[in-house]
Structure 1
Amino acid sequence: MNPEKVVFGFFLVMALTLNFGFCLGDIDNQAHHHVYELAAVIVVNLVATILKFGDRSHVGALLLSTSLVADLQLFAAALVWGIAIHVYEVGMTATVMASIVSLASGALLANVISVLLLVIETAILRR
């Protein structure tokens, strides 16, 4: 068993599950989506992105691109949250929360694709 692959897989799956946990619930209900959970998703996604930089294969390039998409979507969600609260001071309305969860859901889809690519690559290597 390769410890490097274990850590890599761990962070990919952790990013997916944290992202899923943040997106789960009513899209416009702030009580179902916590800011610290979004922060945890961003941190774990960044770690997963950094781990993907070493792979120079075609699948590695696809994994990196999906991770960059997820990072961009999550940064946009955090930016919307911060601007709504601190710049425009509109507070957390249902519309703002729906926008944040929609952006995080896009990152969730990118993370699902990333994990599927990892599973496919693992299945191919075993044969």
Structure 2
Amino acid sequence: MNLDKVISGFFIILAMTINFGFFYGDMHSLEAHSKYELFAAIIINIIATTLKLGDKTQMGSVLLATSLVADIQLIAAAIVWTVAAYVFVVDAEIMGIIVSLSGGALLANIVSVALYVGDTLKSKR
């Protein structure tokens, strides 16, 4: 068993599941989405991104690209939420934007997990 692959796979899948946990719920409801869960999704995605930095293969490059997309979208969602909380009011429209950005990150994470599983199945023992 390769411990590096276990840790990397753990964080890739954890990033997707935490992102899904934030995304799931009424899109326009502030109560259905926790700012702490968004923060956790950002941190776990950044950890998953750093674990993908050392891979020099073509698959590693694609996995890194999907992770960077997820990071950017989750950070953008946090910025929108922060600006709205301190400058405006977080209403249904703003919450819809935040959840939509996290949905894009979720899609990038799903692609990343699918590629990771496909690469794992393709690799020889």
Query: Structure 1 vs Structure 2: percent identity of aligned residues?
Result: 50
Runs of 4+, deviation exceeding 3 Å: none
Aligned to 1:6, the other structure's residue is in SS state helix
CA RMSD of aligned residues (A): 0.8
Count, aligned residues: 125
Show structure 1 runs of 5+ residues with no match: none
Alignment deviations for residues 83-124 of structure 1 (CA, whole Å, 9 cap, x no partner): 0011x2x22100000000000000000000000000110011
Structure 1 residue aligned with 2:34: 34
Alpha-carbon distance between aligned partners in 2 of 1:14 and 1:2, rounded to the nearest angstrom: 18
Structure 2 residue aligned with 1:113: 111
Alpha-carbon distance between aligned partners in 2 of 1:64 and 1:119, rounded to the nearest angstrom: 15
Q: Please identify which structure carries the higher helix content.
A: 1
Alpha-carbon distance between aligned partners in 2 of 1:124 and 1:13, rounded to the nearest angstrom: 18
Show structure 2 runs of 5+ residues with no match: none
Q: TM-score, normalised by structure 2?
A: 0.98
Alpha-carbon distance between aligned partners in 2 of 1:111 and 1:118, rounded to the nearest angstrom: 10
Q: TM-score, normalised by structure 1?
A: 0.96
Q: How does 1:3-42 map to 2 (within 5 A)?
A: 3-42=3-42
